[in-house]
Amino acid sequence: MLIRAEAITKAFGQHKVLNRADLQINEGDAIGLIGINGAGKSTFMKILLGEEKQDTGEIIRNTQRIGYLAQFDESSDCTVREVLGRPYGHVEHLRRRQVEIDEIMAQGGDIDWNALAEESAKIEKALNESDSKDEEKQIDSLKKVGLSRSIMDRKMSTLSGGERTKVMLSRIFVQAEGCDMLFMDEPTNHLDIETVESLEDFILETHCAILVVSHDRYFMDKVVTRVTEISHGKTIEYKGNYSQFVMKKQLDFERMEKEYRRYTIQKREQEKIAAEMHKDQWFMALHKTRQKMIDRMDVKEKPEADREITVRIQAAKKSGKNVFKTKGLSVELGGKMILENIDLDIDKGEKIGIFGANGEGKSTLVKALLEEIPSKGELWVAPGAKIGYFAQQHENLDLELTAEEQLMLILGKDRRPDIRKMLGRFFLYGEKVERPMSTLSGGERARVALAVLLLDEYNVLVLDEPTNYLDIPARHAVEQALNEYDGTILAVTHDRYFLDTVCTKVIEVKDHHIKVFNGTYSAMKGRPNTVEIVMDADEYRVVSSFTNWATGRKFSSGDKVLIAPAEMKNYEWAIGQGKLKKTGGRQRKKVDVSTADKKDQ
């Protein structure tokens, strides 16, 4: 056991964020911490780290070797070199202890001077070794996220948001060797798909236990084996990845609803019998006995359903068959070729996802189609196309205005009740709609931007990272609305779950060109009918040679085999015949569940 949190409570003023939250992290764990925005995920993580102090409850830490990737990347005047050389966990713990020793020695008194001096010398040696880290290791960590060594001496404040996040991610790679555990708060924010997939591979290979807060469902499906949800201040744990969590949570809710209905019916019947007894046989005490029976019934609380955002996007009158058409389209900016010879046909009703590495030209392609930037070649836009645009950084919002004032600019002041009703559909009410939007969170501003998009009817929606900053329930609501929308959608996104659930066609932008695929992202990557998840797998040693006929793989004596629960049927006979012996070891392993299930049949 590395860390255990028991009955943790935390309140900010009258608002109780955590109410007896529990969590245990063991060696090798890969845990996803989820919940709606404001549920207390980041607060809980900071309490586990020791950055925040809980109001009540107990934290037991058996390690200080913890790496940490914060949600908001560092944008100070420190150089990249300085940031990479600043590990969070073990080294920071040493520095804090060094300060404590200095303070104790400065106060003097009855202390063990020799012991403190010896400890101080050991700490100073460890810190010196830390400061002389091999620069090549840091450069290698930058390469893993697609950054070059030339960035080492640049200040963090001069980097883009995506570059800063990659630097902070690199720091995690540098730290990992000296850590037992890695904490990551929204690590995939601002990362392109290629970098996220590198992070997934790293997490699967690292020896560290992982605790990750994320709204990236595809990412969570790939890397976690346990999900802990914070809901109404309490923690509920489920085994499996995100998709399994959704299924199990729904089953749990249905079971709790049935139990609550059964309890209320039985209680009502018993109370009715007790009342009739008291009325008909008032001179006897039978009704009191019946009431005691009622009081002894196991009380079942009514399960609290999650609030859902309700979004309906109405399409305007349909445009012609072709919405956008290009031939030999090229874009050159600042003397640099960004896109070259782009041939593209976008038809009415198509839902297209555009993805690619940062800087490849995804947004440039969209802006060229919208004629916001000059291009060469042929471009045709349907005359009947009425285009609605959702900007990634919400540039279409005036952040000095309140959410209510922003919508009044469109509908007018006399429509205040309608405006309040629309904002309420996005869980924006009270002081959240009455204060400047500059003070709102990214997720809250995204919801205002979506509300603005609903105020007019469009037959073409151009969306730039529409799920950024949104929590998982809000993402589901937006995806459902877009699936029901009968207009044309063009979405730039790094959200692979969105690419799979909304888009019927995907476009990859790479090396100045595009690759168009009719189908989802997973189908394009060659995974059309598979569900690839991560499981805890038991380690076995091969005692005598055998062939697994389900997979065709041959095993020799002494080989090590990792067997996940989904694969167990393929190996039961070998285990039964003594050809495999469990070693007691466990590791995380990717498992193609569809294939495993098919072979098991």
Q: Do residues 355 and 461 share a domain?
A: yes
Q: What is the pLDDT of residue 212?
A: 94
Of 278, 295, 312, the residue at which a domain comes to its end is 295
In a domain, residue 137? The reply is yes
In a domain, residue 459? The reply is yes
d(CA 93, CA 382): 62
Mark 361-387 as b/e (b = at least 16 C-beta within 10 Å). bbbbbbbbbeeeeebebebebbeebbb
pLDDT in tens, 526-547: 765 445 556 677 889 999 999 8
Q: Do residues 513 and 555 share a domain?
A: no
332: Cβ contacts below 8 Å, ≥ 6 apart? 338, 376
Q: Which of 240-244, 307-311, 488-492 has the highest mean pLDDT?
A: 488-492
- The answer, yes or no, to whether residue 97 has pLDDT greater than 90, is no
Q: Is residue 364 very low, low, confident or very high in pLDDT (cuts 50, 70, 90)? A: very high
- The answer, yes or no, to whether residue 560 has pLDDT greater than 70, is yes
185 beta partners: 213
Q: Do residues 290 and 432 share a domain?
A: no
Q: Do 457 and 467 contact (CB within 8 A), yes or no?
A: no
Backbone torsions φ then ψ of 455, nearest 5 degrees: -75, -15
Q: Which of 329-338, 408-417, 446-455, 563-572 has the highest mean pLDDT?
A: 329-338
- The answer, yes or no, to whether residue 271 has pLDDT greater than 90, is no
In a domain, residue 102? The reply is no
Q: Do residues 474 and 589 share a domain?
A: no
Of 199, 223, 240, the residue at which a domain comes to its end is 240
Residue 61 DSSP SS3:
strand
Neighbour tally for 425: CB within 10 Å: 18
Across 410-437, average pLDDT: 85
- The answer, yes or no, to whether residue 108 has pLDDT greater than 90, is no
CATH number, position 546? 2.30.30
Torsion of CA 34, 40, 41, 47, to 10 degrees: -150
d(CA 408, CA 351): 31
Owning domain of residue 62: 3-85+133-240
Q: Do residues 517 and 459 share a domain?
A: yes
Q: Do residues 333 and 270 share a domain?
A: no
- The answer, yes or no, to whether residue 95 has pLDDT greater than 80, is no
Q: Do residues 267 and 351 share a domain?
A: no
In a domain, residue 506? The reply is yes
Neighbour tally for 254: CB within 10 Å: 11
526: left (phi over 0), alpha (psi -120 to 50) or beta: left
pLDDT in tens, 16-59: 999 999 999 999 899 999 988 888 998 999 999 888 999 999 99
Q: Among residues of the chain, what percentage have pLDDT more than 70? A: 87
Q: Which of 246-260, 304-318, 450-464, 581-595 has the highest mean pLDDT?
A: 450-464
Q: Do residues 258 and 378 share a domain?
A: no
For the record, the structure tokens of 62 come out as: 């058996």
Q: Among residues of the chain, what percentage have pLDDT more than 90? A: 29
- The answer, yes or no, to whether residue 66 has pLDDT greater than 70, is yes
Sheet containing 56-61: give its strands across.
Answer: 15-25, 3-12, 56-61
How many Å is the Cα radius of gyration of the chain? 29
In a domain, residue 18? The reply is yes
pTM listed for this prediction? 0.71
For the record, the structure tokens of 273 come out as: 């019998």
Q: What is the pLDDT of residue 313?
A: 64
User: What is the SS3 assignment for 366-386?
Assistant: HHHHCCCCCCEEEEEECCCCC
- Nearest to residue 424, comparing CAs of 306, 305, 308? 308
d(CA 162, CA 153): 17
pLDDT in tens, 575-598: 999 999 998 877 767 666 554 444
Q: Do residues 542 and 520 share a domain?
A: no
In a domain, residue 390? The reply is yes
d(CA 285, CA 400): 70
In a domain, residue 376? The reply is yes
CATH number, position 486? 3.40.50.300
The number of folded domains in the chain is 4
Q: Do residues 62 and 22 share a domain?
A: yes
d(CA 445, CA 469): 9
Q: Do 169 and 145 contact (CB within 8 A), yes or no?
A: yes
Stretch (H or E) spanning 464? strand 460-464
pLDDT in tens, 304-337: 656 655 666 666 666 667 899 999 999 998 889 9
Stretch (H or E) spanning 332? strand 322-333
Question: pLDDT averaged over the chain?
Answer: 83
In a domain, residue 199? The reply is yes
Of 499, 524, 549, the residue at which a domain comes to its end is 524
Q: Do residues 171 and 257 share a domain?
A: no
Q: Do residues 177 and 233 share a domain?
A: yes
Q: What is the pLDDT of residue 90?
A: 55
